A and B are shown apart, each in its own frame.
Chain A
Amino acid sequence: MLEDILKGKKSLFETGMQSVLRGQENRARRIVIQQGNLVVNERSEQNGVSAKVYKNGVSGFASMAEYTPEAAEMVLKAATENAHYLHKYAQKEKPALSAYRSGWAESKRFIIDFEQKKLVDICMQVDKYIVDKYPKLTSRTVVYREDTMEKVICTSDAFDGHVAYPRCCMYVVLNMESKDGQPLELMDVIGGFGHADDWFKDLSVVYEKIDNVYKKLCDKAEGVYAEAGVKTVILAPDVAGMIAHEAVGHTVEADLVIGGSVAGPNLGKQVASELVSIVDYAHTALGKQAPLPVYLDDEGIKAEDAVLVENGILKGYMHNRETADRFGVAPCGNARGYSFSDEPLIRMRNTVVLPGKDTLEEMIASVDDGYYLLSTGNGQADLTGEFMFGINMGYEIKHGKLGRAILDTTVSGVAFDMLKTVDMVSNEVKWQAAGTCGKKQRMAVSMGGPAIRCQITIGGR
């Protein structure tokens, strides 16, 4: 656990320079068992300290791979010098950033480390379960990944704090051949906030998940290609969450709004059906702890929820202190850096489509000819809100009933057009907390949603 060695350095903050010192440790554990072979068996620790210093529109930043009082002094000095250097090139003088209330914030849990042997043994047990129960698979991979971070934050004019984000997850990838001999793959993930004991003390949940993946893979082996074109679909929570994050969330990050995103001219306008509301939660969501709770960001702003879309109306953006001033609003604590040497960027936290009133059964029964799209391996969207997601599991819906599985396909569309077609929203939200967003730096994020019924373009031959 990091000690707070930074508070005593506040006296070194230069007057008139808004300064933040951040000590941080990132810890990674990675185990990959492929076909029973332990091909990756890795532990890494990285810690250090960084300083960010703001001066009238420009910032200096410096970091060092040491977490000591001396290193803190050195990075503060270097960051201050960098700010002064860059200020010479500033075209116009900008005012100081708005000050915020100060205090101390702390997260509720800290990080527990486990011996690698325990983690390897867990993965071996899971691998054995798969090979014993499902010998017909052509291949299998079990991956354990832990990416925890701990931060000590010390600011000149906002909150200080000590926060930690323990996270671990396990990926299970199963492969078999389709009926015509083509390789097929299906993956699922278990895990999120917490430690190995939170998620993998009792492996029955993992085994249940594996059984489910195997069953779906068998369905997929008999699957058919989806028919291309605009279709009525039910997007399962995994897919709805991905759309909330990729196709809406990124367009309402204020730095991308300034960069010309489609959200810019649409603030206050109807961008989705009235059934759609999207929130980026800080630490508590829908009456429970959020999947990846964030209490304090890296600029010393206490984290609060950011309402993005409310009943179809675009309500707001996500900010850092600088963009919040530019837009005349208060920031909600979205500025975060992945490693000690990363400057904070505007990042999502727990982004979710809020639940509606329909049941999934009613929704499936309502579709005469369409698809139920269950999971997405990955997705991309751009500033226009045009998105594309790979769909790696889904079923036909014929006359209100699930039909044959479909082979891998893609869906695409323009978010604010597609969301206007949403006409049913299920009453149950599911979260996915193993995600890593890649916007210049990596960042742990969670996303989720209910099932939604909408019109979407399906790719394919």
Chain B
Amino acid sequence: MAGIIEVSDKLKSLIAKKGDMKAQYTVALTQTREITMENGEFTLFRTLFDNHVNIEVIKDKKHGTTSLNKFDDKSLETALDNVLLSAEAGSEDEFFDIAPAMEPAQFHLGVKEPDVDKLMQRAKEFSDDIAKKHPKILVMQIILKHVNAQSIYRNTNGSQDEKTSGYYEIFVEFAGNDGTNSTGIAGTQVVTDNLDTPFIELGSIEKDLQDAEDSLNPISVEGKFEGNVIFTPACSVQMIYYALSNFVGESVVLDGTGLWLGKVGEKVAADKLTIAFKPWDERIVNHEVHTDDGFRSEDYTIIENGVLKSYMTSLYAANKCKVERAKNSGFDIVIEGGDTAFSDMVKNMKRGLIVGAVSCGTPSGNGELSGVAKNSFYVEDGQIKGAVTETMINFNLADMMQNVTTLSKEVLCDGTMVVPYIEVEHVLISGK
């Protein structure tokens, strides 16, 4: 931490010499160790030493940002001069601002130093577990990473946050393959702060591998019908992200096109749906401690029992559009589970799909979404009939939020989110 404090001190003094301006800056030092396995063999070991400096200035109501990966005095001076020139080139806007001073704080998250030997053992065990338990899985890549980061954030209002963090990431990319047939590619990822558990038991890894094996002989769905869809937790997050960014994201708030603008306090989703962003939830492994504008990050609920509570806006958009800013700037999504077991959700389904991923373009502003159901299974009369191929689903994201019928008891905690299976009705499903 000593090195980056020195760099931060240098920046502080350079900024002070520039006279009346607002600024915030982050100095970070990161060391990443990454091991790659391909087709069951270790192939690559990387060590990355990275520096990062981010500077944001507001001078004469004009705004500029820059980033660099150099810590030397000359580079810092040049960067500051250049970002001021950039700001000068911009246009005045009274709504640019940074947060007032926070209490200085220090945060220590996760495990700073990796146990590389243990990581190698777990990697080998993971590869062997997949080969033994899932013989019809072809693993393309396993990427195991430990990221150790130290950072200091300051602003000209007197804030100072120091943060050290260390966490492991486990990513596996695979397909079902029996020597003749291959499924589409699938990937699953977990973030953790310890190596206590065999990797195959983490997150949804085991389930995702099983699903790929079960997808080797897909069936075609005949015709077109309106049915129910159970989105897996990972897919639920994809759909909810599309809905929220399309209807209350920073960009649509600024340009005034979001469908839910002016609807804070109104019902936009099913009663049983409550969505929160909780960086401080103990199930989220590595998280922000302050917002991009320099406020202390707080947990907040964006939809509570179906009622819209907030937009996803920065301080700038909040000032500009006269709305409240979001209490954090991350996407640490937490949706608590419901009271129905996933197996019962399937048993209760008349006709529809379990959808693991949707291959689709970015949905349009009106929320219409049409995409190919990937890693998905056809369900009829409570029975899973098989994986599907060339099957499209079509729905409106705003309707989807209203049409949630069931949340599973089980939730996926992969270190970045807490989300259950979510069932939605009235989805148009079309086969060949």
- Chain A positions near chain B (C-beta within 8 angstroms): 34-35, 37-48, 57-66, 78-79, 82-83, 85-86, 89-92, 115-117, 119-121, 124, 138-139, 141, 175, 178, 182-185, 228, 255-256, 258-262, 341, 343, 376-384, 386-392, 407-410, 412-414, 457, 459-461
In the bound complex, CA of A151 to CA of B372 (Å): 39
Determine if B359 and A380 form an interchain contact, defined as CB atoms under 8 angstroms apart: yes
Chain B positions 69-118 with a Cβ under 8 Å from a chain A Cβ: 69-70, 79, 82-83, 85-91, 93
Chain B positions 354-390 with a Cβ under 8 Å from a chain A Cβ: 359-362, 364-366, 368, 370-372, 374, 389-390
Determine if A383 and B89 form an interchain contact, defined as CB atoms under 8 angstroms apart: no
Determine if B89 and A121 form an interchain contact, defined as CB atoms under 8 angstroms apart: yes
- What distance in Å separates the Cβ of A24 from its nearest Cβ neighbour in chain B? 11
**Which one of B39, B90, B93, B251 has the highest number of Cβ atoms from chain A below 10 Å of its Cβ?**
B90
Whether B3 is near chain A, meaning CB under 8 Å from some CB there, is no
In the bound complex, CA of A157 to CA of B146 (Å): 32
Determine if A35 and B255 form an interchain contact, defined as CB atoms under 8 angstroms apart: yes
- What distance in Å separates the Cβ of B39 from its nearest Cβ neighbour in chain A? 7
Known A121-B89, A390-B360; contact A63-B390, beta-carbon cutoff 8 A: no
Residues of B within 8 A of A43 (CB): 64-66, 82-83, 86
Residue ID in chain B nearest A459 by CB atoms: B370
Known A65-B49, A175-B255, A183-B365; contact A382-B185, beta-carbon cutoff 8 A: yes
Residues of B within 8 A of A115 (CB): 85, 89
Residues of A within 8 A of B120 (CB): 89
In the bound complex, CA of A10 to CA of B247 (Å): 56
Known: A86-B43, A378-B362. 17 other contacts (CB 8 A): A43-B86, A44-B68, A46-B69, A47-B70, A58-B45, A60-B45, A61-B47, A65-B51, A175-B257, A259-B39, A260-B140, A376-B361, A383-B175, A388-B360, A392-B364, A413-B390, A459-B430
Residues of B within 8 A of A390 (CB): 360-362
In the bound complex, CA of A295 to CA of B361 (Å): 33
Whether B158 is near chain A, meaning CB under 8 Å from some CB there, is no
User: Residue A382 contacts which of B63, B93, B371, B374 (CB distance < 8 angstroms)?
Assistant: B374
Which of the four size classes fits the interface of chain B?
35 or more
Known A120-B90, A139-B257; contact A39-B316, beta-carbon cutoff 8 A: yes
Determine if B371 and A459 form an interchain contact, defined as CB atoms under 8 angstroms apart: yes
Residues of A within 8 A of B316 (CB): 39
In the bound complex, CA of A383 to CA of B38 (Å): 16
Residue ID in chain A nearest B44 by CB atoms: A59
**Which one of B46, B63, B82 has the highest number of Cβ atoms from chain A below 10 Å of its Cβ?**
B46
Known A41-B65, A43-B82; contact A388-B45, beta-carbon cutoff 8 A: no
Residues of A within 8 A of B69 (CB): 45-48, 65
- What distance in Å separates the Cβ of A138 from its nearest Cβ neighbour in chain B? 6
Determine if B360 and A410 form an interchain contact, defined as CB atoms under 8 angstroms apart: yes
Residues of B within 8 A of A459 (CB): 370-371, 392, 394, 430
- What distance in Å separates the Cβ of B44 from its nearest Cβ neighbour in chain A? 5
Whether B242 is near chain A, meaning CB under 8 Å from some CB there, is no
Determine if B182 and A37 form an interchain contact, defined as CB atoms under 8 angstroms apart: no
User: Residue A35 contacts which of B48, B177, B254, B259 (CB distance < 8 angstroms)?
Assistant: B254
Whether B124 is near chain A, meaning CB under 8 Å from some CB there, is yes
User: Residue B39 contacts which of A59, A82, A258, A376 (CB distance < 8 angstroms)?
Assistant: A258
Whether B42 is near chain A, meaning CB under 8 Å from some CB there, is yes
In the bound complex, CA of A341 to CA of B50 (Å): 8
Residue ID in chain A nearest B366 by CB atoms: A182
Residues of B within 8 A of A389 (CB): 361
In the bound complex, CA of A83 to CA of B390 (Å): 43
Whether B67 is near chain A, meaning CB under 8 Å from some CB there, is yes
Determine if B365 and A175 form an interchain contact, defined as CB atoms under 8 angstroms apart: yes
Residue ID in chain B nearest A390 by CB atoms: B361
In the bound complex, CA of A413 to CA of B378 (Å): 19
Determine if A414 and B361 form an interchain contact, defined as CB atoms under 8 angstroms apart: no
Whether B418 is near chain A, meaning CB under 8 Å from some CB there, is no
Determine if A388 and B90 form an interchain contact, defined as CB atoms under 8 angstroms apart: no
- What distance in Å separates the Cβ of A316 from its nearest Cβ neighbour in chain B? 20
Residues of B within 8 A of A34 (CB): 251, 254-255
Whether B320 is near chain A, meaning CB under 8 Å from some CB there, is yes
Determine if B364 and A414 form an interchain contact, defined as CB atoms under 8 angstroms apart: no
Residues of A within 8 A of B91 (CB): 37-38, 124
User: Residue A89 contacts which of B87, B124, B257 (CB distance < 8 angstroms)?
Assistant: B124
Determine if A379 and B42 form an interchain contact, defined as CB atoms under 8 angstroms apart: no
In the bound complex, CA of A392 to CA of B362 (Å): 10
Determine if A408 and B364 form an interchain contact, defined as CB atoms under 8 angstroms apart: yes
- What distance in Å separates the Cβ of B389 from its nearest Cβ neighbour in chain A? 7
Determine if A185 and B65 form an interchain contact, defined as CB atoms under 8 angstroms apart: no
User: Residue A259 contacts which of B90, B138, B428 (CB distance < 8 angstroms)?
Assistant: B138
Residues of B within 8 A of A78 (CB): 47
**22 A-B residue pairs with CB within 8 Å:** A38-B63, A43-B82, A45-B79, A46-B69, A57-B41, A60-B45, A63-B49, A89-B124, A116-B64, A117-B85, A120-B86, A138-B256, A185-B364, A259-B185, A261-B182, A378-B362, A383-B175, A383-B185, A388-B360, A392-B364, A459-B371, A460-B394
Chain B positions 22-45 with a Cβ under 8 Å from a chain A Cβ: 35, 38-45
- What distance in Å separates the Cβ of B258 from its nearest Cβ neighbour in chain A? 8
- What distance in Å separates the Cβ of B286 from its nearest Cβ neighbour in chain A? 19
Residues of A within 8 A of B35 (CB): 86
**Which one of B41, B79, B316 has the highest number of Cβ atoms from chain A below 10 Å of its Cβ?**
B41
Whether B184 is near chain A, meaning CB under 8 Å from some CB there, is yes
Determine if B45 and A57 form an interchain contact, defined as CB atoms under 8 angstroms apart: no
- What distance in Å separates the Cβ of B369 from its nearest Cβ neighbour in chain A? 9
Determine if B49 and A64 form an interchain contact, defined as CB atoms under 8 angstroms apart: yes
- What distance in Å separates the Cβ of B93 from its nearest Cβ neighbour in chain A? 6
In the bound complex, CA of A238 to CA of B355 (Å): 30
Determine if B365 and A86 form an interchain contact, defined as CB atoms under 8 angstroms apart: no
Whether B224 is near chain A, meaning CB under 8 Å from some CB there, is yes
Determine if A388 and B89 form an interchain contact, defined as CB atoms under 8 angstroms apart: no
Determine if A82 and B256 form an interchain contact, defined as CB atoms under 8 angstroms apart: no
Residue ID in chain A nearest B256 by CB atoms: A139
**Which one of B43, B44, B173 has the highest number of Cβ atoms from chain A below 10 Å of its Cβ?**
B44
Determine if B90 and A228 form an interchain contact, defined as CB atoms under 8 angstroms apart: no
**Which one of B66, B251, B364 has the highest number of Cβ atoms from chain A below 10 Å of its Cβ?**
B364
Whether B183 is near chain A, meaning CB under 8 Å from some CB there, is yes
Residue ID in chain A nearest B72 by CB atoms: A66
Known A41-B87, A138-B256, A183-B257; contact A410-B389, beta-carbon cutoff 8 A: no
Determine if B140 and A409 form an interchain contact, defined as CB atoms under 8 angstroms apart: no
Residues of B within 8 A of A382 (CB): 184-185, 359, 374
Known A124-B91, A183-B366, A185-B365; contact A82-B430, beta-carbon cutoff 8 A: no
- What distance in Å separates the Cβ of A439 from its nearest Cβ neighbour in chain B? 11
Determine if A388 and B50 form an interchain contact, defined as CB atoms under 8 angstroms apart: no
User: Residue B224 contacts which of A57, A228, A391 (CB distance < 8 angstroms)?
Assistant: A228
- What distance in Å separates the Cβ of A229 from its nearest Cβ neighbour in chain B? 9
User: Residue B65 contacts which of A42, A57, A82, A124 (CB distance < 8 angstroms)?
Assistant: A42
In the bound complex, CA of A59 to CA of B184 (Å): 28
Determine if A117 and B390 form an interchain contact, defined as CB atoms under 8 angstroms apart: no
In the bound complex, CA of A386 to CA of B392 (Å): 12
In the bound complex, CA of A386 to CA of B220 (Å): 14
In the bound complex, CA of A34 to CA of B391 (Å): 37
In the bound complex, CA of A79 to CA of B33 (Å): 11
Residue ID in chain A nearest B93 by CB atoms: A37
In the bound complex, CA of A79 to CA of B48 (Å): 10
Determine if A386 and B184 form an interchain contact, defined as CB atoms under 8 angstroms apart: yes
Residue ID in chain B nearest A118 by CB atoms: B89
**Which one of A79, A343, A383 has the highest number of Cβ atoms from chain B below 10 Å of its Cβ?**
A383
- What distance in Å separates the Cβ of B188 from its nearest Cβ neighbour in chain A? 15
Determine if B45 and A83 form an interchain contact, defined as CB atoms under 8 angstroms apart: yes
User: Residue B43 contacts which of A57, A183, A408 (CB distance < 8 angstroms)?
Assistant: A57
Residues of B within 8 A of A378 (CB): 361-362
Residues of B within 8 A of A46 (CB): 67-69
Determine if A386 and B372 form an interchain contact, defined as CB atoms under 8 angstroms apart: yes
**Which one of B45, B141, B183, B359 has the highest number of Cβ atoms from chain A below 10 Å of its Cβ?**
B45
Determine if A412 and B392 form an interchain contact, defined as CB atoms under 8 angstroms apart: yes
Residues of B within 8 A of A79 (CB): 47
Determine if A388 and B46 form an interchain contact, defined as CB atoms under 8 angstroms apart: no
Residues of A within 8 A of B370 (CB): 409-410, 459-460
